[in-house]
């Protein structure tokens, strides 16, 4: 898939939202058929492939997302647009996290014992990210796009409710479908420290919830 001319910023934003999953296939299909200007942006064959996609098919949708991504990544100076508004990024894996964080600079950390939490800004596109670092159980970063207003409030001491406790961070893994972690040693130090922290910070938590 190739471009014939430059995309507008609005077109690029919507295409990225579709690729990363912030816009579903049905919404994207409606936008695609209404955005007739794309016909001049994509070369003829590429445009026909795009509008000819069967968005009811998961396989076809997956393939067209991969094709669009290959076009969008050309010339990008950061990886922010590839990440959902609320997303998880694995530590390790394909090492995408290194590319993502390479352009981020830490702006603020809460004046509390929330060691896992901080705010960063991308040096390339100026996107602000609320970041929760979960390195004890699942080895994940959980990130959320936030506005300049939220950043300023945080610097003034008023932090977002998201990721307020470590239990919130672990729960986000469940909501985003992160694979369940299994430890060979059930008495692993990281498990014990996490259980102790959960019991201290979440007074109503049950033994069953701790096990989850």
Give residue limits of the domains in the chain: 9-72, 80-211
Greater model confidence, 207 or 172: 172
pLDDT at 131 over 50: yes
Give the span between the Cα atoms of 163 and 130, in whole angstroms: 9
Contact partners, residue 104, CB within 8 Å, separation at least 6: 120, 121, 122, 123, 129
pLDDT at 148: 97
pLDDT surpasses 90 at 82: yes
- According to the model, what pLDDT value does residue 210 have? 46
| pLDDT tops 70 at residue 184 | no
Share of the chain above pLDDT 70, in %: 83
Residue 74 has pLDDT above 60, yes or no: yes
Mean pLDDT of 122-148: 92
Q: How confident is the model at residue 170 (pLDDT cuts 50, 70, 90)?
A: confident
Query: What's the mean pLDDT when you consider all of the chain?
Result: 86
Is a pLDDT exceeding 60 seen at residue 8? yes
The arithmetic mean of pLDDT across residues 31-37, rounded, is 92
Give residue 183's pLDDT: 45
């Amino acid at each position: 898939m190739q471009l014939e001319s430059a995309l507008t910023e609005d077109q690029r934003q919507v295409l990225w939202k579709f690729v990363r999953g912030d816009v579903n296939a049905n919404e994207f299909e409606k936008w695609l058929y209404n955005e007739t200007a794309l016909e001049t942006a994509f070369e003829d064959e590429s445009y026909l492939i795009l509008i000819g996609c069967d968005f009811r098919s998961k396989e076809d949708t997956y393939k067209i997302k991969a094709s669009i991504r290959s076009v969008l990544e050309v010339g990008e100076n950061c990886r922010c647009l590839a990440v959902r508004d609320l997303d998880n990024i694995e530590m390790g894996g394909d090492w995408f996290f290194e590319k993502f964080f390479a352009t981020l600079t830490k702006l603020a950390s809460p004046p509390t014992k929330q060691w896992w939490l901080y705010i960063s800004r991308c040096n390339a596109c100026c996107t602000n990210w609320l970041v929760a670092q979960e390195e004890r159980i699942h080895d994940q970063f959980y990130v959320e796009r936030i506005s300049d207003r939220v950043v300023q409030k945080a610097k003034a001491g008023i932090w977002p409710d998201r990721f307020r406790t470590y239990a919130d961070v672990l729960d986000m893994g469940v909501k985003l479908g992160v694979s369940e972690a299994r430890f060979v040693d059930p008495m692993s130090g990281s498990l014990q420290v996490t259980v102790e922290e959960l019991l201290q910070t979440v007074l109503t938590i049950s033994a069953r919830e701790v096990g989850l």
